[in-house]
Structure 1
Amino acid sequence: MPHTPAPLGLTALEARLREDLQWLDLPARPWVKPRHLEDRPLLEVAVIGGGMAGLAVAAELGHLGIRAVVFDQSEEGFEGPWATTARMQTLRSPKQLSGPALGLPALTFRAWFEAQFGLAQWEALDKIPRLQWAQYLRWYRQVLALDVRNRHRVTRVQPRADGCVELQIDNIGKLQTVCARHVILATGRDGLGGPWVPEVALQLPREYWAHSADGLQDHWFVGKRVAVIGGGASAMDAAGTALEAGARSVDLLVRRTDLPRVNKGKGAGNPGMTHGYWRLPDDWKWSIRHYLNLQQVPPPHGSTLRVSRHANARFLLGSPVESVAVQADGSLLLQTPTARLQYDFLVFATGFRSNWELRPEFAPIASHIKLWGDRYTAPEGRQDQELSQLPDLGPLFEFQQRTPGACPGLDRVHCFSYPAALTYGGVSGDIPAISEGAKRMAQGLAGQLFNDDVALHFEAMQAYDEPELQGDEWQPGRLRAEELRT
């Protein structure tokens, strides 16, 4: 029997990572010129959100010698959805993707996994367990010593005309104000809004329904007749959660007459799309994103089987919800074009939308942000309200003013979250290209910070006086007589 080598161990992996960073001369030495506002130092970059995107962009900024401070409202280790609201059993992305590793092999999930469990376990792994991914991100933060400040909820983002962005922060009831030269919104899938539900949900008492992003609890479902509205990945996760919690029955009400079978996004999932999409003209960007919206992403194979293996689960296709009403006995009567159905509880797996009213912290900037709907008129038959509400971002993921001069400093607030997808593609929130997005964001900010202070850097260059030569490395040569000009 062949010998199976023991796992490397995290201590050895971390030593390897430190060596890799040393060989690459990372991180760069700090170089950004300090600035102050009313005797208070300005942060170089503040990142709002300590999930995967926030950690990746903060890490890459650090590699470039820029100090980034990350503010997150969650308890330490519970940033992002992985250990809080998400209900999938495994990630949907292939396990071999390098994710936020920033080109460093020792920083990948695979390296972290194999160091603890070995190659055989890696080869046996199908997809990455959700909670294991959360553990990996905790290690990522720790091993890179990122400055993440938990339980810091940003309550106001206020650009200023004097070249900074003011943040009001609630730290467990203690209010503070900080100012940064640039602010990055790494606020995830709900980015500039939150969960979206149709009007029928808003007409019901809140105790009768939940959104799939609400952090579904088992006791909500025990013994109940449950309907899940939707047919995507989050719908399958919600249905599986309800069934495993002991629901009496679970119906998936799907508007389409069939579930999508092919993930069309994979058809162009290559480095060309990652690096070329953002250079495309508007018509092509709109065409690609609108087509993906129409086609929709099919639920994962395993997630669908998680539901269909239960005898008390039904897939009701061609069943858009027309109305819902509370009956005298406390049950819900839900009507579709073909049926009258009774339930006790509903889950709306209906995704997210940009909605400034859900994000009071962005009130100072919301009305000033230029949207795609302000700059682009979709061709007949390709109108898309969801896309039209996404921000029209500049070259550094920065918000642009709808009316020039109305909100000075808005271009110092950068959208590194899902709503950037129409302008930049899937580089600011999804695992496949998050490193490329973080590098683009960080490199752009490095250039901007340098350009803003070019006069100071020029002065520093002129004042630089570390000698390369001491003057004793050579002797002046003497010309021979025949070489002299007469």
Structure 2
Amino acid sequence: MNSPADTCPAAANAAGLAALEARLRQDLSWLELPAKSWTVARTHDGKPVLDVAVIGGGMAGMAAAATLKHLGINARIFDRSPEGFEGPWATTARMETLRSPKQLTGPALGLPALTFRAWFEAQFGASAWEALDKIPRLQWMDYLRWYRRVLDLDVRNEHVVERVVPRPDGLVALELRSPAGALSVLARRVVLATGRDGLGGAHVPPFAQDLPRSRWAHSSDVFDYTTLCGKRVGVIGAGASAMDSAATALEAGAASVDLLIRRADIPRVNKGKGAGNPGLTHGHPSLPDDWKWRIRHYINAQQVPPPRGSTLRVSRHENARFNLACPIERIEQAGDALLVHTPKGAFELDFLIFSTGFRIALETREEFGAFARHIRYWRDRYTPAAGQEDQELSDSPDLGPAFEFLEKTAHACPGLSRIHCFCYPAALTHGTVSGDIPAISDGARRLGQGIAALLYQEDVALHYANMEAFDEPEVFGDEWIPAGPPPALPSDAANAS
């Protein structure tokens, strides 16, 4: 597997990047993008109301905001991270390269000059692109930083959203903590682009709660792996994050790493990749419930294999051990060690890393407390066939065509549908178009066009009045000379009549 050093040429061509940016500006100009602002300006108590507030400034949030901007809708992003560190890429992600094939167009929104490939080749050349295997993780973050800059997106960093409150007056209130202090914002629509764990959090087995917090971490935690130097580490799981965590621990000098893998074998085939095509991307939302559930459950049950390169990154260490068919039965403390009991015997370890995924649980997030209990989830409206039970799918929100939340009980939470779920839990309703690289542009366009339609429909009377009042002439009356009376008819023609 190529390392970042192998795939990132030492010197970037600044002139080539400037030329690409000029081409992008020309493309946008030719396409008349962004469209002119057309929404009806709103104020409340003398303060301006945002058209759309986007919570989360990672790839999905930026793609959503860029689409809305191109549609002539004002969107502002709020992100808790410092500028340039939005999303997981430069913080909690530990892979060397992305899993996605390099040629995927990602959040480019149909603009060739906005693709990662265009950005890469402008700086490093076509031959470097041909030599590139997978996109280095930190280079992808550099691309996203450029994406934000060239599209001039309105992002407010270090703004922590502490509460989201839908209101019956057609607005959504946001309570934020900013560098300047507490802040209240009103928006007509709110988009949650909060990532894999944004509607819940890390999933850990119940027995983890009985362990000292200093003895374990979840793979998504911000954590200093150098503290594992010389320690015996157990990694629970066999997915991509498990391999990345195990490799990072080994590279940090762990004495040993035992991967404790429940399955008798590691998955070999990525079924989701085999299903990916434009038909599924555009056809999933209108599939019958049974087919939606069947497809998503099958992919969940088969599980996604870890990338080959990530697995080799672990196995090249002699002190790494892959323990298959090794579910954890119980854990007890034995002095300074953890004694982890499995069907294959007990492992004496110093530290555990849970690479056990995420859960959807809005009720556990304080910022969603005003509406979480009112959301209609799939468990409220669908019962799977025997043998197809799936907790993740049952907990997924049931969404409308613009990714909007729906009420479990009608009229119980006015304004709930003004909050749009543009992150991973939307997958059962909409397919994987709101978090993963392959179809993120399709999802952003579906979201943006849906919000545009809703904003127009709400104000249709005002737009009609504006149309009636519109008085910009295109013809001024000086383009012709009115004709006089018709010439007299000949006398015999007159007699004939």
- The one-letter amino acid of 2:196's match is R
Could you tell me how far apart the structure 2 residues matched to 1:225 and 1:338 are? 18
Could you tell me how far apart the structure 2 residues matched to 1:7 and 1:127 are? 23
Q: Is the 8 A contact 2:363 2:373 kept in 1?
A: no
- The one-letter amino acid of 1:327's match is A
Could you tell me how far apart the structure 2 residues matched to 1:173 and 1:67 are? 23
What is the total number of aligned residue pairs between the two structures? 480
Shift of 1:338: 1.8
Q: Corresponding residue for 1:122?
A: 129
- The one-letter amino acid of 1:416's match is F
Shift of 1:217: 1.7
- The one-letter amino acid of 2:260's match is L
Q: Is the 8 A contact 1:86 1:215 kept in 2?
A: no
Q: Corresponding residue for 1:364?
A: 370
Q: Corresponding residue for 1:295?
A: 302
How do residues 317-396 of structure 1 correspond to structure 2 at under 5 angstroms?
317-328=324-335, 330-396=336-402
Q: Which runs of 4+ in 1 moved over 6 A?
A: 483-486
Q: Corresponding residue for 1:109?
A: 116
Q: SS in structure 2 opposite 1:70? A: strand
How do residues 130-209 of structure 1 correspond to structure 2 at under 5 angstroms?
130-172=137-179, 174-209=181-216
Cα-to-partner distance string for 1:190-243 (whole Å, 9 max, x where unaligned): 121011000121110001100000133222310011110000000000001001
Check if 1:310 corresponds to 2:317.
yes
Q: SS in structure 2 opposite 1:241? A: helix
- The one-letter amino acid of 1:299's match is P
Q: Corresponding residue for 1:445?
A: 451
- From 409, 414, 421, the counterpart of 1:415: 421
Q: Corresponding residue for 1:3?
A: none
Q: SS in structure 1 opposite 2:100? A: coil
Q: Is the 8 A contact 1:184 1:413 kept in 2?
A: yes
Q: Considering only CA atoms, is the larger Rg found in Structure 1 or Structure 2?
A: 2
- The one-letter amino acid of 2:177's match is D
Which sits farther off after the overlay, 355-364 or 40-49? 355-364
Shift of 1:8: 5.6
- The one-letter amino acid of 1:345's match is F
Q: Is the 8 A contact 1:8 1:118 kept in 2?
A: no
Could you tell me how far apart the structure 1 residues matched to 2:364 and 2:80 are? 16
Q: Is the 8 A contact 1:7 1:117 kept in 2?
A: no
Could you tell me how far apart the structure 2 residues matched to 1:216 and 1:9 are? 38
Q: Corresponding residue for 2:7?
A: none
How do residues 466-485 of structure 1 correspond to structure 2 at under 5 angstroms?
466-477=472-483, 479-482=486-489
Which sits farther off after the overlay, 151-160 or 207-216? 207-216
How do residues 154-303 of structure 1 correspond to structure 2 at under 5 angstroms?
154-172=161-179, 174-303=181-310
Q: SS in structure 2 opposite 1:59? A: helix
- The one-letter amino acid of 2:292's match is K
Q: SS in structure 2 opposite 1:367? A: helix
Q: Is the 8 A contact 1:354 1:390 kept in 2?
A: yes
Unmatched 5+ stretches in structure 2? 1-12
Which sits farther off after the overlay, 345-354 or 469-478? 469-478
Q: SS in structure 2 opposite 1:476? A: coil
Shift of 1:100: 0.3
TM-score by length of 2: 0.95
Unmatched 5+ stretches in structure 1? 1-5
Check if 1:432 corresponds to 2:438.
yes
- From 460, 463, 472, the counterpart of 1:457: 463
Could you tell me how far apart the structure 2 residues matched to 1:166 and 1:182 are? 10
Q: Is the 8 A contact 1:7 1:118 kept in 2?
A: no
Could you tell me how far apart the structure 2 residues matched to 1:319 and 1:477 are? 96
Could you tell me how far apart the structure 1 residues matched to 2:243 and 2:158 are? 31
Please tell me the root mean square deviation across aligned C-alpha atoms, in Å: 1.4
TM-score by length of 1: 0.97
Q: Is the 8 A contact 2:226 2:249 kept in 1?
A: no
Could you tell me how far apart the structure 2 residues matched to 1:266 and 1:9 are? 34
Shift of 1:19: 0.3
Which sits farther off after the overlay, 474-483 or 161-170? 474-483
- The one-letter amino acid of 1:394's match is G
Cα-to-partner distance string for 1:155-190 (whole Å, 9 max, x where unaligned): 000000000000000013711111000000000011
Shift of 1:475: 2.3
Q: Is the 8 A contact 1:164 1:180 kept in 2?
A: yes
Identity across matched positions, percent: 65
- The one-letter amino acid of 2:99's match is R
Could you tell me how far apart the structure 2 residues matched to 1:345 and 1:480 are? 105
Could you tell me how far apart the structure 2 residues matched to 1:53 and 1:275 are? 18
Q: Corresponding residue for 2:9?
A: none
